[in-house]
Amino acid sequence: MTELFSHTASRQLSQMFFAVLFFHGSEYLLAIIFHGKSNVTLKSLLISRQYILAMILSILEYLLELYLFPELKEHWWISNFGLLMVVVGEVIRKLAIITAGHAFTHLIQTHHAEHHKLVTHGVYSIVRHPGYTGFLIWSVGTQVMLCNPVSTVAFTVVVWNFFRRRIPYEEYFLRQFFGEYEEFAKRVPSGIPFVK
């Protein structure tokens, strides 16, 4: 049990908890800034039962591997690369939210609102869905940072599959709302590998 109080564990776990708290806290704060407190619910924290379960399982994997294979957690170059992924993913996602401003919502819009506009500048000129790109990098990065091989693969597959289904659904409505979306989609990649 002394492994839990080692420098490695305290550093990696504190980085993980800080990353999760910062991600969700800043999501909520930005939602309030752009949409007003009365229009923001706890759904803006983007926390679901599946998400909580995934995070709990990743911490359990970490603790089990820390106990059984403590040397696995000592690969600092891997852990630091994961930390870099967390920071890069966070920056990309927050740039997406700030660039889109009021047009950025956490829920897919199925009706065209007056304030809803197609954003094609800034980070959106590089990828169509930078918020999704950022989240994919961030979520996988949290597991690389913990040197969690099983959760790294699981998070990659689950998050990628989620966006593989979500992007076509969302883009169906975007094509209805914005006549220029088709040309934009041809010109700019989705930002999620192997998802057109």
Interhelix angle for 49-68 vs 7-35, to 10°?
170
* Contact partners, residue 114, CB within 8 Å, separation at least 6: none
Report the distance separating Cα 174 and Cα 100, nearest Å.
Answer: 14
Res. 6 pLDDT band, cuts 50 70 90 = confident
- Please give the Cα distance from 96 to 101 (Å, whole number): 8
CB 100 within 8 A of CB 109: no
pLDDT digits (tens, 9 = 90+) for 42-100: 766 778 889 999 999 999 999 999 999 999 999 999 999 999 999 999 999 999 999 99
Q: Who wins on pLDDT, 44 or 139?
A: 139
Query: What is the distance between the alpha carbons of residues 50 and 91, in angstroms, rounded to a whole number?
Result: 24
pLDDT digits (tens, 9 = 90+) for 75-85: 999 999 999 99
Express each pLDDT in 110-122 by its tens digit: 888 777 889 999 9
pTM of the model: 0.94
